[in-house]
């Protein structure tokens, strides 16, 4: 039993004007990829011969370069062509948008099907924020998605898809997934799995999944910062032999999601930047985190906006850490200086003309390499201080999702009252140490104020742009 495995993941934000290229991906190829997925024991225990291809993942960002995507795709297809394959397992994201192509996942699966035909089972695992196309249910037999946001069950999702693939092969079945859509567009920070109403929606999805014959019952919120006709929540349900039952349950889940649309709310203070700063100033405790949500790299934001830094300066706030702002020119200037030197720097708006910039007089207190989101070397970074504002400047987009990233550039977050990060919801390692979390509704490619974005392709009617439609 030959099973081909691979992983190609990137979450696109089409409002980010900066293209994602091969340089943004962390990749391993061939046998080296085996240590980066969590399904090898499942396939080996089933007696399968594993055929590896690649494992490539990138930070959320702008649309993927067509040529670079086709390079990755060819790496997979070349292996597909030369092997006798009895099953395919892929770990994808579901919201990869490729220039001039559209859905990267759909394109990849179509090209694979051209080679293997329709009689080989294909299983994919996806992010909860996948924007599923109508075609995907005709290209994959098993489609599994994360059931947590913030995400905690990535490994479980990988393994679920692998186990169901083995089941399909052993039972000689080719399930036909069914899809239904909820015409809702909701920022991810409102759609969290530990809170209502999503908690109840997933409870029903679990009940469906445990009914006889059902293999999967998945709920996807989608990535709202992608301007396509298929953006938004999709429900995918799979029955082993009765697709009509799967369709009925998918439609029921979609209806439930739509009916609950007014109940999705932010669970923390979600206010404009000035009010966020005022709330933080009034708090007596340290480690008050403010999320600069409009410029969030984990949602595909550009990461070069000095908007929150300007608001901090204007409001004369003390003991603040800004983590961080992407500006490779400012980093280069810092690396030409010595620690302790006084500098005049212009920071921000290097990539996105919609971003703000600022000029500050500062002192360089640290420089070096910084850790990336996936544990990789994310390039050079510098730490400067201006009055009592400490600012981390990076030469690439860095998501400050855990204390280890601050530590890697010599910054102890415990020394600060207010910490500003370019995130939405805090990732678990920060959430557990934060004394208070505030969501600043800031401008940018990942703004939570979706009505401020210039959508052109989303389907209509759709909530919150439209309401009370069937």
The whole-angstrom separation of Cα 16 and Cα 182 is 25
The whole-angstrom separation of Cα 51 and Cα 36 is 14
Q: Are 378 and 398 in contact (CB under 8 A)?
A: yes
For residue 150, the model assigns a pLDDT of 87
The answer for residues whose C-beta is within 8 angstroms of residue 70's C-beta and 6 or more apart is none
The torsion angles phi and psi of 360, rounded to 5 degrees, stand at -140, 150
For residue 90, count other CB atoms closer than 10 A to its CB: 24
Instruction: Find residue 98's DSSP bridge partners.
Output: 64, 102
CA 270 to chain CA mean position, Å: 20
- For the segment 354-371, what is each residue's pLDDT rounded down to a tens digit? 999 999 999 999 999 999
For residue 328, count other CB atoms closer than 10 A to its CB: 16
Domains of the chain: which residue ranges? 2-263, 269-447
Which residues of the chain are under the pLDDT cut of 70? 470
Q: Are 350 and 327 in contact (CB under 8 A)?
A: yes
The whole-angstrom separation of Cα 292 and Cα 424 is 7
For residue 374, the model assigns a pLDDT of 84
Q: 3-class DSSP state for residue 277?
A: helix
For residue 237, the model assigns a pLDDT of 98
Q: 3-class DSSP state for residue 67?
A: helix
Prediction pTM value: 0.94
Q: What is the DSSP letter of 270?
A: E
H/E segment holding residue 335: helix 328-335
For residue 469, the model assigns a pLDDT of 83
Q: 3-class DSSP state for residue 336?
A: coil
For residue 373, the model assigns a pLDDT of 87
The torsion angles phi and psi of 266, rounded to 5 degrees, stand at -70, 140
For residue 18, the model assigns a pLDDT of 96
Find, among 195, 246, 226, the residue nearest to 299 by Cα: 226
The whole-angstrom separation of Cα 295 and Cα 134 is 30
Q: Are 240 and 212 in contact (CB under 8 A)?
A: no
For residue 375, the model assigns a pLDDT of 87
Q: Are 157 and 37 in contact (CB under 8 A)?
A: no
Pairing of strands 288-292, 418-421: parallel
For residue 272, the model assigns a pLDDT of 97
């Amino acid at each position: 039993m030959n099973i081909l495995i691979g992983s190609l993941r990137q979450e696109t934000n089409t409002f980010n004007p900066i293209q994602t290229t091969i340089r943004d991906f962390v990749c391993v190829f061939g046998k080296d990829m085996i240590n980066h997925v969590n399904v090898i024991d499942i396939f080996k225990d089933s007696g399968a011969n594993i055929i590896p291809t690649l494992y490539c993942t990138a930070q959320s960002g702008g649309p993927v370069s067509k040529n670079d995507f086709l390079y990755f795709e060819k790496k997979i297809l070349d292996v597909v062509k030369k092997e006798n394959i009895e099953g395919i397992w892929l770990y994808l994201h579901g919201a990869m948008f490729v220039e001039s192509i559209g859905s990267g996942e759909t394109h990849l699966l179509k090209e694979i099907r051209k080679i293997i035909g329709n009689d080989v089972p294909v299983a994919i695992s996806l992010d909860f924020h996948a924007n599923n196309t109508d075609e995907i249910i005709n290209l994959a037999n098993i489609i599994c998605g994360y059931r947590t946001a913030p995400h905690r069950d990535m490994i479980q999702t990988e393994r679920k898809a692998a186990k169901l693939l083995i089941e399909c092969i052993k039972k000689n079945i080719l399930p036909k997934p069914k899809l239904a859509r909820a015409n809702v567009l909701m920022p991810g920070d409102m759609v969290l799995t530990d809170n209502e109403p999503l908690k109840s929606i997933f409870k029903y999805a679990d009940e469906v999944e445990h009914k006889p014959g059902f293999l999967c019952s998945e709920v996807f919120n989608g990535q709202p910062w992608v301007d396509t006709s298929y953006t938004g929540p999709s429900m995918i349900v799979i029955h082993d032999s009765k697709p009509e039952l799967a369709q009925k349950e998918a439609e029921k889940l979609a209806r439930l999601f739509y009916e609950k649309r007014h109940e999705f709310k932010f669970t923390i203070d979600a206010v404009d930047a000035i009010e966020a700063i005022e709330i933080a100033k009034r708090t007596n405790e340290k480690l008050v985190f403010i999320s600069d949500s409009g410029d969030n790299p984990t949602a595909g934001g550009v990461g070069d906006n000095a908007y929150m830094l300007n608001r901090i300066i204007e409001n004369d706030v003390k003991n603040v850490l800004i983590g961080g702002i992407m500006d490779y020119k400012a980093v280069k200037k810092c690396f030409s200086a010595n620690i302790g030197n006084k500098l005049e720097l212009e920071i921000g708006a290097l990539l996105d003309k919609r971003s703000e910039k600022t000029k500050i007089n500062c002192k360089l207190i640290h420089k070096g390499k910084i850790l990336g989101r996936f544990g990789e070397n994310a390039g050079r970074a510098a730490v400067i201080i201006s009055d009592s504002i400490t600012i981390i400047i990076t030469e690439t987009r860095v998501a400050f999702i855990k204390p280890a990233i601050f530590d890697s550039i010599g910054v102890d977050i415990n020394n600060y009252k207010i910490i500003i990060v370019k995130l939405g919801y805090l990732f678990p390692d920060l959430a557990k140490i934060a004394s208070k979390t505030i969501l600043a509704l800031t401008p940018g490619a990942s703004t939570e104020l979706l009505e401020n974005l210039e959508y052109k392709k989303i389907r209509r009617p759709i909530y919150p742009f439209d309401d009370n439609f069937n």
